[in-house]
Amino acid sequence: MKSLEPARKKLERIWRDAWRPPDRRPPWAWCEDNIAAIPYSPIPGRFRSTNSPWMREPMEALMDPRIRIVSIIAAIQSGKTSVGELGLCHIIANNPGPTLWLDQTDDDAKDQSESRLQKLFDECPAVTALYPANRHKKRVATVHFSNGMTLWVLGAHNKTNLQRRSIRWLIGDETWRWPTGHMAEAEARVTAFGWLGKCLFMSQGGEEDDDTHRKHETTDMRVWTFACPHCHQRQPFKWEQIEWSKDARDETGEWDFQRVRDTTAMRCASCNHYFEDSDRTRRELNLTGRYVVTNPNATKENAGFHWNALCAMSWGRLAELYLRAKAAARKGDVSLIQQFYQKRLALAWREYLEDYKLDIVPGGYLKGETWDGEAGVDANGRLVPAGEACVCPLRILTVDCQLDHLWLVARAWAEDGSSRLIWCERVLTFTDVQSVQERFGIHPNLVFVDAGHATYDVYRECAAHGWTALMGDKRATFTHKVKGRKSVERFYSPRRKVVLGRGQSCSVFYWSNLNIKDTLARLRRNQNPDDGPVWEVPDDIDDDYLTQMESEHRIKKGGKWLWERIGSRPNHLYDCEAMQVAAATMLKIVGREAAGNAPVDTPDGEP
């Protein structure tokens, strides 16, 4: 007769497990005792919540039976996803139930399971003890644990994965990348479990008003804060409080990033005490850390948590990332600054979030003031330096036409290509344009009007007033035949004469949208006379101008570079400034053909 001892021991283990009291410790405390290591973590050894104290309260909320939705929006590489991973270990061992983990795609989910979840489970004896005896029940996408729990690790893009199953635990990672509506589809899977159903959504910052941020706004929106040890004022970690020496530049005026890192500090928003950039400082501030509710009117079932990289990462390194992103944005590429806000500050990217005004140094003058440095045009159509006799000042007026109004920019130009904005305005009629032209003494041949909208009306007005019509074009260059020379390529087309009848005609030029706006980007970057032509704006420039000047970015589509409008940002004044550069290029003030006293190639051959 076989011994009954193995069966007795098995029955005894089942009995003991069935009557074992539930572990009432906070889940992070349980993880500290039960997870030997996090294999993919840069911090060796056992999990210690003191290294990331902002993770504790979200993990507690995950296990709180009064809370059904937990939303986390946090910086990358700061423990955001670890909340879900560690919480999953606790769920498997202590609160088993059908669980669905969703990444963006099935491939992402497969990688998450293989490179993180499975490796973490192997470091948690409480979970490995529940591995199925049949190895075929432990697959990458599906695991059937011996306690009856099933875990699916799938992609949110595949709508089929969001249907059919009734689940108790839903864990969604990087929801900002999910298709619109799929968060709601996934959330509906927990309905059958009533108050036991729980959703955890984790993400970096996404886009303004996307599903991730709309869901977060239904929560109490708790923000991680610290208490200043000097004035005891509690405050969030805010990017606005990070400062570095504005003199941290080399002899060419470029940022010296080592000096930037060395001089970066965080200023207390209350007492202005400066905290040095060190791991020790962040550790001491985080010891005082706690979450503060910012949306107290939210339902108690929805808990939201937000923290950014300032509590976990070197401020000097962040400052360098920010400045490099700003430099790229000034060249027309806003992708890096967008990533900084989304990934490091965990904020939704929205229009005009970035404050570009910080990079514009006022020229020390007011709108409408005359400029001693502006050049002139003589009777022979030549540029003359400032102060010499001329028939008209070198001032250009550019106009962007809309359905029922117009935008205009007047800019004075120096012989060396420097320029000064003297006026910008939104007007209603072409009569208003003529009034501005006369007010600033601008020669009719130096008035340029965009003909992309209401083309015939523009041609008619240009013919009546002696103005010039301009049309932006996707071509990079235009071929010009030059007498006695081979043909040359320029950023603008040869003059085209449009006859309107009754002896009226106007001149039309096409200009390269890519190359002219590239030239504009280069001109705008320089505000130091020692580095070449200076692009100036007045001290009283308004916010509308500043924001419109950041309305387009340079991107690559179909293997070709182009300037594209960012979202729905108004770009009318930006277009006016681009036309200023187009006109200045035709006049050979800027661009590769710019030369000191070369004849001015005005649209009609004379000023």
Pairing of strands 302-307, 468-473: unpaired
Note the Cα 381 to chain centre separation in Å. Answer: 46
Per-residue pLDDT tens digits for 130-158:
998 777 666 778 999 999 999 999 999 99
E strands in 380-441: 383-384, 392-393, 395-401, 406-413, 419-427
Structure confidence at residue 594 as a pLDDT band (50, 70, 90): low
What pLDDT is recorded for position 194?
Answer: 84
Q: Where in the chain is the domain with CATH 3.40.50.300?
A: 24-216
What pLDDT is recorded for position 603?
Answer: 42
Its CATH architecture, for the domain 24-216, is 3-Layer(aba) Sandwich (3.40)
d(CA 151, CA 97): 8
Tokens coding 229: 């040890």
Confidence check: pLDDT of 602 > 50:
no
String of DSSP letters for 374-396: --EE-TTSBEE-TTS--SEE-EE
Contact 533, 416 (CB under 8 A): yes
What pLDDT is recorded for position 10?
Answer: 63
Confidence check: pLDDT of 354 > 70:
no
What does the pLDDT average to over 483-494?
86
Distance spanning both ends of the chain, measured CA to CA: 117
Higher pLDDT among residues 429 and 390, named by residue: 429
Q: Where in the chain is the domain with CATH 3.30.420.240?
A: 362-586
Tokens coding 96: 């088993």
Note the Cα 178 to chain centre separation in Å. Answer: 18
Structure confidence at residue 125 as a pLDDT band (50, 70, 90): very high
What does the pLDDT average to over 452-465?
93
Fold of 362-586: Nucleotidyltransferase; domain 5 (3.30.420)
Tokens coding 193: 């479990």
What pLDDT is recorded for position 261?
Answer: 97
Structure confidence at residue 335 as a pLDDT band (50, 70, 90): confident
Confidence check: pLDDT of 1 > 50:
no
What pLDDT is recorded for position 355?
Answer: 43
Contact 78, 307 (CB under 8 A): yes
CA–CA distances in Å: residue 593 to residues 357, 413, 433, 574? 32, 16, 30, 24
Confidence check: pLDDT of 358 > 50:
no
d(CA 524, CA 519): 9
What pLDDT is recorded for position 13?
Answer: 61
Higher pLDDT among residues 335 and 530, named by residue: 335
What does the pLDDT average to over 489-494?
93
Per-residue pLDDT tens digits for 37-90:
999 888 888 899 999 999 999 999 999 999 999 999 999 999 999 999 999 999
Confidence check: pLDDT of 583 > 60:
yes
Confidence check: pLDDT of 115 > 80:
yes
What does the pLDDT average to over 351-376?
71
d(CA 377, CA 286): 65
What pLDDT is recorded for position 591?
Answer: 80
Average confidence score pLDDT of the chain: 88
d(CA 508, CA 468): 6
d(CA 381, CA 213): 59
What pLDDT is recorded for position 140?
Answer: 79
What does the pLDDT average to over 185-209?
91
Contact 341, 108 (CB under 8 A): no
Confidence check: pLDDT of 353 > 70:
no
* Residue 415 burial class via C-beta count within 10 angstroms: exposed 0-12, middle 13-18, buried 19 and up: buried
Higher pLDDT among residues 390 and 450, named by residue: 450
Structure confidence at residue 357 as a pLDDT band (50, 70, 90): very low
What pLDDT is recorded for position 519?
Answer: 86
Confidence check: pLDDT of 173 > 90:
yes
Q: Which pTM does this prediction carry?
A: 0.66
Q: Which of 211-215, 356-360, 493-497 has the lowest mean pLDDT?
A: 356-360
